[in-house]
Amino acid sequence: MQMSGRPVGTVQYAQGAAPVSVDPNGTYISGQVYVQYVLLANSSRLPILFLNGGTFTGAMWETTPDGRPGWQRLFLDKGYSSYLTDAVGKGRASYAPFPEIFAAPPVFRPLEETWKLLRIGPRYTPDPAARETFPGVQFPIDHFDAFARQGVPRFPGQDSVELAAYDDLLDRIGRCIVVAQSSGGYFATLLASKRPRDIAAIVTVELTAVPDTATAGMAALAAVPQLILWGDNIPTSPMWMSNKETVRRYADAVNSRGGRVDILDLPARGVAGNSHQMMMDCNNDVLADLVAAWLDDLPDMQANPR
Binding residues for a second copy, rule: CB under 8 A, are: 2-3, 9, 11-17, 22-29, 32, 34, 54, 57, 59, 86, 91-92, 94-97, 104, 107-113, 124, 126, 145, 148-154, 156-157, 159-160, 183, 186, 209, 212
- As measured in angstroms, the least distance from the Cβ of 26 to a second copy is 3
Q: Which is nearer to a second copy, 92 or 175 (CB)?
A: 92
- As measured in angstroms, the least distance from the Cβ of 242 to a second copy is 10
Strands (E), the chain: 2-3, 9-11, 20-22, 26-27, 34-38, 48-51, 82-86, 176-181, 199-205, 226-230, 261-265
Q: Which is nearer to a second copy, 86 or 232 (CB)?
A: 86
Cα–Cα distance, 300 to 302 (Å, whole number): 6
Q: Which residues, in sequence order, are bridge partners of residue 85?
A: 35
Q: Which is nearer to a second copy, 81 or 274 (CB)?
A: 81
Pairing of strands 48-51, 82-86: parallel
- As measured in angstroms, the least distance from the Cβ of 236 to a second copy is 18
- As measured in angstroms, the least distance from the Cβ of 22 to a second copy is 6
- As measured in angstroms, the least distance from the Cβ of 110 to a second copy is 3
The answer to whether the CB of 87 falls within 8 A of the CB of 96 is: no
The answer to whether the CB of 81 falls within 8 A of the CB of 48 is: yes
Kindly list the distances between the CA atom of residue 133 and the CA atoms of 118, 154, 202, 229, 236, in Å, as whole numbers in the listed order. 11, 26, 31, 21, 12
The secondary structure element, H or E, covering residue 9 is: strand 9-11
- As measured in angstroms, the least distance from the Cβ of 61 to a second copy is 12
Q: Which is nearer to a second copy, 117 or 220 (CB)?
A: 117
Q: Which is nearer to a second copy, 9 or 79 (CB)?
A: 9
What are the phi and psi torsion angles at 246 (to 5°)?
A: -60, -45
Q: Which is nearer to a second copy, 57 or 274 (CB)?
A: 57
Burial category of 138 from C-beta neighbours within 10 Å (exposed 0-12, middle 13-18, buried 19 and up): buried
